[in-house]
Amino acid sequence: MSVQTPEVEAIHTVINCPRCGADHADSDGCPSCGLLSAPVPCAPGSATSATRFRCVICGVPVCGGEPSGTDAALCELHEDIPVIQGWAQVYTTSDEIEAGLISENLRADGVDSQLYTQKDDNFPVDLGELSIIRVLVPSFDYERGIEIIRSYMNQSGEVGFACANCGEVYEPGAEVCTNCGASLIGEAE
């Protein structure tokens, strides 16, 4: 006679961040703004003994000044990365098709992504920086997102997903097009 025990679902405590209002579960801090539930020690040699913030990109303690308003806490290494409500920018373009392809490829490689656009479809002129489309990933997946995008870049820094000869989509690292046999070396290295 065997006794079966019922499956028990894990209980997740949802916490509402008092600083930015984002909901998060089972962590010691807010992944959107970096506010920690308790202070952590700063790096050795820092003038500050403890901090209440962690970089939303890499997780290191952010010692020194508190981020303004509900801005994300970022360390010196990541301070120039735009972060919008817990989503870090990994790429910008004014081409909707390119942005969509990059976003789809990130998702196919296991990194959630979304597009944040300032493009006005009712205005027929491309305004450059005023009509950019941002490809965003969760801030904690920034490094993985950047790595995936770099795997699709050619030597001149342009992102490409298709054979220049026939237009067939190829996988990162492919050396020969599976459709036409053209060399892909130099396109995505």
Q: Say yes or no: 91 and 70 in one domain.
A: no
pTM exceeds 0.75: no
Q: Say yes or no: 57 and 101 in one domain.
A: no
Q: Say yes or no: 24 and 61 in one domain.
A: yes
Phi, psi of 134 (to 5 degrees): -100, 135
87-93 vs 114-117, strand pairing mode: unpaired
138-155 pLDDT tens trace: 999 999 999 999 887 766
pLDDT of 91 > 70? The answer is yes
If one counts the domains in the chain, the total is 3
How would you class 185 by CB atoms within 10 Å of its CB: exposed for 0-12, middle for 13-18, buried for 19 or more? exposed
Specify the 3-state DSSP secondary structure of 98.
Answer: helix
Question: How far is the C-alpha of 74 from the C-alpha of 81, rounded, in Å?
Answer: 8
Q: Say yes or no: 96 and 139 in one domain.
A: yes
Q: Say yes or no: 70 and 3 in one domain.
A: yes
Question: How far is the C-alpha of 154 from the C-alpha of 176, rounded, in Å?
Answer: 15
Q: Say yes or no: 111 and 143 in one domain.
A: yes
Residues of the chain above pLDDT 70, percent: 72
Instruction: Please give the single-letter amino acid code of residue 41.
Output: P
Q: Say yes or no: 32 and 56 in one domain.
A: yes
Q: Say yes or no: 125 and 185 in one domain.
A: no
Residue where a domain terminates, one of 49, 80, 111: 80
List the domain range (segments joined by +) for residue 2.
1-80
Question: How far is the C-alpha of 19 from the C-alpha of 68, rounded, in Å?
Answer: 11
Q: Cβ(69)–Cβ(80) under 8 Å?
A: no
Res 121: pLDDT: 60
